[in-house]
Structure 1
Amino acid sequence: MSAHEQMRAMLDQLMGTARNGETDRHGVKFYDDAVCKSFLLQCCPHEILSSTRMDLGECPKIHDLALRADYELASKTKDYFYDIDATEHLEAFIADCDRRTTAAKQRLAETQEELSAEVTEKANAVHELAEQIGQKLARAEALGEEGMVEESVKLMGEIDELRKKKAVAEQEYRNSMPASSYQQQKLRVCEVCSAYLGIHDNDRRLADHFGGKLHLGFITIREKLAELKKTVDKRREERGASERERTGGRRHYTQPLSQQKQTRSRSHRSSSKERRRD
């Protein structure tokens, strides 16, 4: 993106579609069905996971920073209940991801050498310690980049302790199985983003994973969904009440078909009697 395009996007984000008097520049409003409501709430997976291994491509609905700015301004005075739309969108997306995770676990169970319960427990202990190291290392590096040196150093101390525990766990795992089997890469599936992690992955590889855009993107999506789900039932009730208030509580009653026929029949007989009297 050129400097000019970046500046234009920044102005769109700050001022919306009405900047420079361009009130109808887009020909679409943020409340139109064609606009992505998850994008307006900054939680569309198409945007969050762009340029990752799981890039979803362009969202079928419109993403526009100016429309988001319009929505943020309008939502200060009116409730549009777009959090409900976003909840349903993210629920469907995460459900699909969880199905892929389950399928990946099944494939591993079918293709990897089956281990005894004792060996599996030891392998899982190594995996869990390795994941803790990778997560903390990624966090320590991020803190260092933000200038929070003291916090970063404290985390590195915790990482050193975890490495000692991992070395002990690896030795127990190694001693529990033949050398030929130990050399084989034992994989597991990341519960957050469904990527494969190996028991022999080094700290750098794990830190790159846990600090990478894909994994962090999934954390963002899952945390946003968890936040939305806390209030979605109440919000649905509020939306229903708002709709009833807007329509004045009117309900359109449609007479059952059998009653409609009876009414027409009585009306027809009454008309026939009137004609005979004449």
Structure 2
Amino acid sequence: MAAMLDELMGPKRNVELGKDTTVTFDDPDICKYYIVGFCPHDMFVNTKADLGACPRVHDDNLRLEYPKNNQRRIRKNLEKLKTNEENGQKKEDMRKLREEQEMARLDGEIKKCMADAEKAGEEGLVAKCQELVDKAEQLEKQKASIMERLNSNIPPTAPIDESAIKIMEVCEVCGSMLIKNDAQCRVEEHLSGKMHMGFSKIKVTIEELRERIRKRDEENEKERQRAREERERRERERRRSRDRDRSRDRDRRSSRRSRSRSRGDRERRRSRSRDRYRRDDRDRRNRDRGDDRDRRYRR
């Protein structure tokens, strides 16, 4: 009843008025398997792998919104789905192994009972012989019951000739025991069965999710590569810009030094020119004074 109310009114139907009733992908009451693809609880109804009713809510709106959401947890759901499949397969394999071990134990006990019964008959112990035979028959019934459980997934067939030994094989998809080289109609019936198709869908979905993750990782790697190349390009531009600035600074310093040397040369030339002028002027004055003295003497 609670599950039906959740489906109709939502998982937050009992939340107090005024509180946030928005349902998100991370809500613990939401079935993550359903929104990512399908719920395993719906796949194996009335089969040996029946998981029962799903305890969480199957929200169709979230299922439609999920592919558009940027905060998807594809990898997490993939691993959960894979774990669910592996756990189910392991449980089935362990059950079959235990039953096969039990059958082997019963075989040993049956052989021992029959050997002891034969020995008791030879010794004239009729009551003990009958008791051992009855025990062997009970063990045979237990063995037949286990065999029936092991082969319960195989459709009923005509009575099997006890002398004919059927070679069994394991279905690689769902783990069911099948008769090797069985009739094609029975093989097709198994392949179209709910359990086989359910496990097949799980495997296909896992591969699809892995492929989507692989493509997403490739796109992310390409984006990171483009970002690295862009950063390297900008860094090269900055280095070239710094080199140009340093070159201009060197040119300016060289130009200033050149101008400074030119001014110094001009100053030195002007200074030498002034010195020559002063010397020439001094020499003229000295010659003039000498000429004046000579004229005075001649008078």
Q: Normalising by the residue count of structure 1, what TM-score does the alignment of the two structures yield?
A: 0.43
Give the number of the structure with larger relative contact order, counting CA–CA contacts within 8 Å between residues 6 or more apart: 1
Between structure 1 and structure 2, the one with the greater Rg is: 2
